[in-house]
Structure 1
Amino acid sequence: MSDDSNEGRGDAVADFAGRVFGSAVGALDILSIYLGDRLGWYRALAEAGQLSSTELARRTATQERYAREWLEQQAVSGILTVEETDDPDDADAAPVAASDRRFSLPAAHAEVLTDDTSLDYLAPSVRMFAASAAQLPQLLDAYRTGGGVSWQELGADAHESQGDMNRPWFDKRLAPALASVGSLHEVLSRPGAHIADVGCGHGWSTLALARAYPDARVEGFDVDQPSIEAARRHAAEAGLGEHVRFHLAGGEELAAEGRFDAAFVFEAVHDMPRPVEVLAAIRRAVRDDGQVVIMDEAVAERFAPDGDEVERYMYGFSLVVCLPDSLSSPGSVGTGTVMRQSTLEGYAREAGFSGIEELPIEGFASFRFTRLVR
């Protein structure tokens, strides 16, 4: 092999090593963000404006030495700013004690990490990563045996994360998004319209539908009991407990024929072990002149090795959350997070629909809305 070839190979090795190292640094940042989120450190900083490690520990009932290390790491990572109290030009000045350094959370960073009403709120996604990381031994076993790691096994971090990630989008953007599609809005606005939200999770989409269409009856369905309990609690807190109903049931249990004017599945079809059964039940449950709409990840039309960051992100979720959850049910089709439109269309046709139609709703996070055509 020529020297030039060896040099080129060396550059490629160094480049890839640099990429892996950068990813490792990012992974450590994610873990540090999880600590700051769950220990209440970010919220304490956002509320106080500026805190030392002693003050932060006192406000959050945590240990100062851990708080100090975390604050310094966050400053080095560029997440926090630190007040420069040492004067490098004054040789006689006493150095400031490490526990007295004062740290701040910039307003832009506070919105991303603490504002649960912001469309840029990303702290919940970090909780999902932590939940899946805690299951790595079980994931390794599943990958070897063909089993899975269920949603229940992922625990509270995952459950809360899923609801909190999408809540701002449902609260702020779902109503105008649906109203922008005239034919859909017309059905949802029927007097006494009956709407199903299948795979409702913590119920934020269900509540958003109820607010957008106050004359409608809205029912949420989910197979996860803690999520249904949370959804009922959220409905009561929002004063909507009398206007919505939540059921511990899967979509395949929608047995009443022609009961609903419309049905939605928000970011859940790709998780379903038997999506065709669910879509077939939804088809029977929705009136012939009704609407069935699926919101799921806006991945590319087909696989390509040069996928964008959204594709990489969705494949990552699929590896550690969605695919293992789906495969935890015997007989699952194992869709995974990266559900192409061709896959959804195949499920829809097998369930008795004639095809699918992408709705002209853009800019709704990384999701697309698809209407199933009878």
Structure 2
Amino acid sequence: MSTAVEDERGGASEVDAFAEKVMAAALGWVDLMAIHLGSQMGWYDALAKAGPMDAEELAVATGTSRRYAQEWLEQQSAAGILEVDDPAGPRVRLAAGAAEVLTDRGSLSYLEPLARMFAASGAQMPRLVEAYRSGSGVSWEEFGDHARQSQADMNRPWFDALPEVIRSVDGLHALLSRPGARIADIGSGAGWSSLALAHAYPQAAVDGFDVDDASIEMSRENAAAAGLGGRVRFERADAADLAAHGPFDVIFAFECLHDMPHPVDVLAAARDAVAPGGAVVVMDEAAAETFSPDAGALERLLYGFSLFICLPDGLSHPGSAGTGTVMRHDTLREYAREAGWGDVEIIVPEFGLWRIYALT
């Protein structure tokens, strides 16, 4: 039998452990928001380009405040993101690996957009609190440019790598390689997935569809800059109306179905819009097969996206399915069968944060 003193010590130990957990979470938030500040000020880019700098040099190079730069440099050094080059100065440099993760926009390890995304969500916290209380939502438009652009920037390196993955999928590469093949990219966002497909399959025509006006404008600008404006078209359209634009040899839904308020309608429209012998492919988050309280880091990150961005966006539409980011295989299979499909096959088990499925 435990004594009262032992019970008190055990309780105190549990309290201390949980307090440390909360403290670690608070420090993680501080680091992430400091990353956002540093990125917005251009401080990481300046350090990556010029090497060790002190606060005065950094402020002059970026046209920012020396006093804020000084505080930020000290915080970043304490967090291990920067390393002190000259303690007497101090002059600091980016820690090993930090430049690629925070400034290399073409790297698969580029994670600075995470800070932007959660900063955009934090700016809407009063609206999120209201939505959680009432059951309403916060739309993608309300989250604003930081959310839109950070999603595009984080996904772009992976979309650039996507054609190499597609080539390994039996049948899919052959469909896309047909002369005159028509490709639909629903939920096309900034257009990077469409442009990657157009580069990889020069005999195909690609149509991107999205309901966000700002994303359509951004995607058209990106297509023009890439010299693909004649072969890649972007149109503001609801994916549930896809059949009116078909038929298509291949229809893709990259990292968007879980956001859609009416996924069954979209999958039914894809079934009507795909040409005979064509393919419908969904890439969505690689959620575990079932819920587990012992979830790993990826699952916890997906819940973060869902709590603060994807689920509120989905629920901002009347009659929403309210899927959220953690869309498991069984959920997608249920949606597909309701839409008239037979089953959902995993064709790429793991691709970054995602998994790739084919509807059959």
TM-score (norm 2): 0.97
Tell me how far apart the structure 2 counterparts of residues 330 and 7 of structure 1 sit (CA, whole Å). Answer: 52
2:276 counterpart (280, 288, 294): 288
Alignment partner of 1:13 out of 15, 33, 52:
15
For 1:166 and 1:288, how far apart are their aligned partners in 2?
A: 31
Q: Pick from 127, 137, 160: which aligns with 1:138? A: 127
Alignment-derived partner of residue 110 in structure 2: 121
The answer to whether the aligner puts 1:231 opposite 2:211 as a matched pair is no
Deviation at 1:364, TM superposition (A): 1.6
> How many Å separate the matches in 2 of 1:106 and 1:18?
26
- Output the CA distance in 2 between the equivalents of 1:259 and 1:158: 32
Instruction: Rate the CA distance shift 1:324–1:212 in 2: closer, same or farther, 3 A.
Output: same
The code of the aligned residue for 1:9 comes to G
Aligned counterpart for 1:159 among listed residues 100, 123, 148: 148
Does residue 351 of structure 2 align to residue 370 of structure 1?
no
- 1:3 maps to which residue? 5
Deviation, 1:242, is 1.1
Spell out the pairing of 1:267-278 with structure 2 (5 A cutoff): 267-278=255-266
Indicate if the aligned counterparts of 2:243 and 2:273 stay in contact, CA closer than 8 A.
yes
Partners of 1:79 and 1:50 lie apart in 2 by 13
Matching residue of 1:97: none
Counterpart position of 2:193:
205
Residues 91-130 of structure 1: pairs in structure 2 closer than 5 A: 100-130=89-119
Q: Which runs of 5+ in 2 are unaligned?
A: none
Does the 8 A contact of 1:257 with 1:284 survive in 2?
no
Report the number of matched residues.
358
1:230-271, Cα deviation, whole Å (9 max, x unpaired)? 000011111111110000111111123851001000010000
Structure 1: gaps spanning 5 or more residues: 87-99
Flag the 1:314–1:289 CA change in 2: closer, same or farther, 3 A: same
RMSD of aligned alpha carbons: 1.2
**Deviation of residue 321 (structure 1)?**
0.2
* Post-superposition offset of 1:107: 4.9
Cα shift readout 1:70-126 (whole Å, capped 9, x = no counterpart): 01111111111112344xxxxxxxxxxxxx421111351000000000000000111
Largest Rg, 1 or 2: 1
| 1:13-58 deviation digits (Å, cap 9, x = unpaired) | 1111111101101110001000001110100111111111111111
Q: Give the secondary structure class of the aligned counterpart of 2:171.
A: helix
Does the CA contact (< 8 Å) of 2:86 and 2:92 recur in 1? no
Residue matched to 1:62: 64
Q: Are the counterparts in 1 of residues 286 and 350 from structure 2 also a CA contact under 8 Å?
A: no
What is the TM-score with the length of structure 1 in the denominator? 0.94
- Where 2:322 maps in the other structure, the secondary structure is coil
Query: What's 1:344 paired with?
Result: 332
Q: Alpha carbons of 1:191 and 1:21: their partners in 2 closer, same or farther (altered >3 Å)?
A: same
